[in-house]
Amino acid sequence: MAFLKRIGLFVLTNVLVMVTIGIVWSLVSHFLGLAGLNSYIPFLMAFCLVWGMGGAFISLLMSKWVAKKFHGVQIIQPNNQNPELRALVNKVHDFARRAGLPKMPEVGIYESIDINAFATGPSKSNSLVAVSSGLLQRMNEKEIDGVLAHEVAHIANGDMVTMTLIQGIVNAFAMFFSRILANIVASNVDEKFRGVVHFAVVILGDIAFTLLGSIVVNYFSRRREFRADAGGARYASRESMIAALQKLRSVYSLPIPPEEGATATLMISNRDKQGALAKLFMTHPPLEVRIEALQRSRL
């Protein structure tokens, strides 16, 4: 039911956005003398929405496979002969049962000196929780509990689907505005160069608008971390969740580069970047802010 409500809100939001864009473009094109493009706009809207959302959902469907390949994740079977690894699987599954997940997540480990973990997968019934070898080596049991419960909370909250919807909208906007800009610029150059200019502006526009759109994506990524922290505190304990974040804060003060890239928004943490502009592109809130939020919360 919660998933259907989220999809319904998404569809309504997109309808309103597309109607708004249509109205604004009609006004702008009238005053700029670009009315000839009006018949092209509805097709372009549909094209960008289909491809923008399609690309985001294809990424979601491939998320587990990509994460496994990108990080070299090795899946741990519940009957693994190593008692520590078997206990890790049992803990994840215990938190998953507390969160009411319909199916137990896969559990994996990947080689990295970084202390981190992530959750991914296309649905609550098809998910993965992966931890780094560095996390297992450098965190105690209480801290590990906090991390694992946090990642299970991401799955329980439906964060992978929510972020995909947001990314799909951003993709659609980036494609739409870059092509509108390309048409405007190309219409003002010599006809023999029009095709090249149009292509160049589309590529540069896709990059620029996607970069700007990442500010929106990262804002929602930061907000969901607070919810996952609260969930981690419920499924494990507030003390475990705070202890995990405090360990991350102490370790991340050291000059060890974190592994981010394709799964940055999925990780439990990334390094705090300095500067007001840089903070707009942070996928996670500062660790001290997250700790303070947990300390103030009423669980």
Confidence at 191, pLDDT banded by 50, 70, 90: confident
Contacts of 182 (CB under 8 A, 6+ apart): 197, 198, 199, 201, 202, 205
| 74 pLDDT above the threshold of 70 | yes
Question: Is 30 assigned a ligand-binding role in the annotation?
Answer: no
Give me the pLDDT at residue 13, please. 47
Confidence at 230, pLDDT banded by 50, 70, 90: very high
Which comes out higher in pLDDT, residue 285 or 274?
Answer: 285
pTM for this structure? 0.79
Query: Above pLDDT 90, what percent of the chain?
Result: 40
Q: Among 81-95, 96-110, 246-260, name the one with the lowest average pLDDT.
A: 246-260
Instruction: Let me know if residue 75 belongs to a domain.
Output: yes
Over residues 41-45, the mean pLDDT reads 78
Instruction: Let me know if residue 262 belongs to a domain.
Output: no
Query: Above pLDDT 70, what percent of the chain?
Result: 78
DSSP letter string, 63-91: HHHHHHHHHTPEEPPTT-SSHHHHHHHHH
Question: Do the beta carbons of residue 265 and residue 164 sit within 8 Å?
Answer: no
Counted domains in the chain: 1
Question: Is 154 assigned a ligand-binding role in the annotation?
Answer: yes
The whole-angstrom separation of Cα 30 and Cα 105 is: 54
Give me the pLDDT at residue 9, please. 43
Instruction: Let me know if residue 52 belongs to a domain.
Output: yes
Angle value at C-alpha 214, between 5 and 41, nearest 5 degrees? 75
Please report, for the domain that includes residue 77, its CATH number: 3.30.2010.10
Query: Does the annotation mark 106 as catalytic?
Result: no
CA 127 → CA 57, 62, 86, distances in Å? 15, 11, 18
| 87 pLDDT above the threshold of 50 | yes
Question: Is 225 assigned a ligand-binding role in the annotation?
Answer: yes
Confidence at 45, pLDDT banded by 50, 70, 90: confident
Over residues 79-85, the mean pLDDT reads 93
Instruction: Let me know if residue 25 belongs to a domain.
Output: no
* Active-site position among 151, 239, 260, 288: 151
Instruction: Let me know if residue 17 belongs to a domain.
Output: no
Question: Do the beta carbons of residue 115 and residue 132 sit within 8 Å?
Answer: yes
Give the torsion sign (CA, 270, 218, 225, 172): negative
According to DSSP, residue 39 is labeled: G
| Selection from 167, 212, 189, 179 nearest residue 55 by Cα | 167
| SS3 of residue 106 by DSSP | strand
Instruction: Let me know if residue 122 belongs to a domain.
Output: yes
Over residues 41-65, the mean pLDDT reads 82
Instruction: Let me know if residue 202 belongs to a domain.
Output: yes
The range of the structural domain enclosing residue 55 comes to: 39-253+277-296
Query: Under the phi-then-psi rule, with left for phi > 0, alpha for psi from -120 to 50, and beta for the rest, what region is 259?
Result: beta
Q: What average pLDDT does the chain have?
A: 82
Instruction: Let me know if residue 8 belongs to a domain.
Output: no
Over residues 47-65, the mean pLDDT reads 84
Confidence at 11, pLDDT banded by 50, 70, 90: very low
